[in-house]
C-alpha cells in the first residue's frame, strides 16, 4: 500500500487519466489531479468522471500551461511520482486548431518538466502516442524504429515531448518514461474516437464514414490493459525505493525509456465495424471515403519490451472490449437500453 505517498495525475478528468486515478486510489495512493475540463468534447462527461472519483482525489481545475499553478501544486503536495496524461488530443483536430497543441502539449509539458527539475519527484511518466511512428510502414512498430516522419502536428508534439524528456533527463537526471499508447477504447471513453462516434451514429441511423475505403487497421487497446501497464511500470519505478528490489530492469526504467502499450493484434476497420454492429444489434450505414489528412493505414505495437519489464501483455480482445463499452454506453446515455 502507498497510503503516505502522493502521485500527481494530470488530465485526471480525461479518459485515461480518470481510469488511472481510479486504480491508483484503489491501490492506496494519495492522488492529486489537475484538468481544465475544456470543451474539445462534452465537458459534462469529464465532470461525470470526476464525480466518480469524488473526494478520493484532490482536484485542481486549471491549465497545465499555467506555470504558477503547476508550481503551486508541486510545492504544496510534493508528489513522489508524476503521471502526465494531460494533452490536447486528436490527430484530425490538430490540422484545424494547431495553436491548441503547441500550447498544451509543448508549453504545458515544459511546465511539468520544469516543476520536476525543481522539486525532483522520483519518476515522471508521460503520455506519448503511436502517432510518433508516422509514415513508417515497417510493422509491427518497435521502439527502435525511426520516428522522424510525422504526418500530423499532434504526432510532432508527442515526438517533441519524447525529445524534451530526453533533454531534461540528460541535463538534470530526471527519470522519465514515455507511454506510446495505441488506439485506446472502452467505457468512459472519448466521444471523438471512432468507436464512440460510430456507436452514436449507428444508433441514430446516421451514416458513418469508412476512411480509405476500409483499407485501415488499428491496434485497439482496451483501457484496463492500458491502466494495468501503467500501474506495473509505476510499480517498477516505485520498487527503486527498496534496495532489495533493485534489478537491471528497474535500473532501465529509472533513467529514460519509451514503451509501446498496445494489444499487439491489429484489427481491420471493417472487422471493427462489423463487431460493433453485432454488439449494438444494429447495422451501420456505411459511406466509403478517401483517407483523411494526417491518418495512417496501419498501427501495430510490438510490446516485447513492456512484457520484459512488467511481465504483463495487453490481452483484451476487441469483442470483449466492445461488449463492455456498449454496456457502459447503454447505462450512461440510455438508462440501460438501446
Residues catalogued as catalytic:
154
139: exposed, middle or buried (C-beta count within 10 Å: 0-12, 13-18, 19+)? middle
> Which residues have a Cβ under 8 Å from the Cβ of 298 and sit 6 or more positions away?
137, 139, 216, 217, 218, 266
Cis peptide leading into residue 140 (ω within 30°):
yes
Give the separation between CA 79 and CA 156, rounded to whole angstroms: 29
SS3 262: coil
CB within 8 Å of 5: residues ≥ 6 apart: 29, 30, 80, 81, 238
Give the closest residue to 253 by CA, choosing from 264, 268, 239, 272. 239
The H-or-E segment that residue 279 falls in is helix 269-280
d(CA 15, CA 151): 24
Instruction: Give the separation between CA 176 and CA 258, rounded to whole angstroms.
Output: 8
196 Cβ partners below 8 Å, 6+ apart? 185, 189, 190, 325, 329
Amino acid at each position: 500500500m502507498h497510503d503516505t505517498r502522493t502521485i500527481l495525475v494530470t488530465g485526471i478528468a480525461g479518459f485515461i487519466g480518470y481510469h488511472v486515478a481510479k486504480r491508483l486510489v484503489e491501490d492506496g495512493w494519495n492522488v492529486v489531479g489537475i484538468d481544465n475540463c475544456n470543451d474539445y468534447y462534452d465537458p459534462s462527461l469529464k465532470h461525470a468522471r470526476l464525480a466518480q472519483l469524488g473526494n478520493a482525489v484532490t482536484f485542481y481545475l486549471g491549465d497545465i500551461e499555467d506555470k504558477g499553478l503547476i508550481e503551486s501544486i508541486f510545492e504544496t503536495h510534493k508528489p513522489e511520482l508524476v503521471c502526465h496524461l494531460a494533452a490536447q488530443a486528436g490527430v484530425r483536430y490538430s490540422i484545424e486548431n494547431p495553436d491548441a497543441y503547441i500550447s498544451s502539449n509543448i508549453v504545458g509539458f515544459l511546465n511539468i518538466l520544469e516543476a520536476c527539475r525543481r522539486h525532483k519527484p522520483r519518476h515522471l511518466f508521460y503520455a506519448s502516442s503511436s502517432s510518433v511512428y508516422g509514415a513508417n510502414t515497417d510493422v509491427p512498430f518497435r521502439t527502435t524504429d525511426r520516428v522522424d516522419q510525422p504526418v500530423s502536428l499532434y504526432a510532432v508534439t508527442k515526438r517533441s515531448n519524447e525529445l524534451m524528456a530526453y533533454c531534461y533527463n540528460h541535463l538534470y537526471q530526471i527519470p522519465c518514461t514515455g507511454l506510446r499508447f495505441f488506439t485506446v477504447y472502452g467505457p468512459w471513453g472519448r466521444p471523438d474516437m471512432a468507436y464512440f462516434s460510430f456507436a452514436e451514429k449507428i444508433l441514430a441511423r446516421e451514416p458513418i464514414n469508412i476512411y480509405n475505403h476500409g483499407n485501415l487497421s488499428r491496434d485497439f487497446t482496451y483501457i484496463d490493459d492500458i491502466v494495468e501497464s501503467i500501474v506495473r511500470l509505476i510499480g517498477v519505478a516505485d520498487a527503486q525505493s527498496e534496495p532489495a528490489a533493485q534489478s537491471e530492469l528497474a535500473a532501465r526504467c529509472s533513467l529514460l525509456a519509451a514503451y509501446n502499450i498496445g494489444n499487439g493484434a491489429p484489427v481491420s476497420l471493417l472487422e471493427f465495424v462489423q463487431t460493433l454492429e453485432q454488439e449494438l444489434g444494429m447495422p451501420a450505414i456505411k459511406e466509403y471515403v478517401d483517407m483523411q489528412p494526417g491518418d495512417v493505414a496501419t498501427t501495430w505495437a510490438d510490446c516485447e519490451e513492456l512484457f520484459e519489464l512488467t511481465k504483463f501483455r495487453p490481452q483484451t480482445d476487441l469483442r470483449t472490449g466492445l461488449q463492455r463499452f456498449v454496456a457502459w454506453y447503454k447505462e450512461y446515455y440510455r438508462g440501460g437500453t438501446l
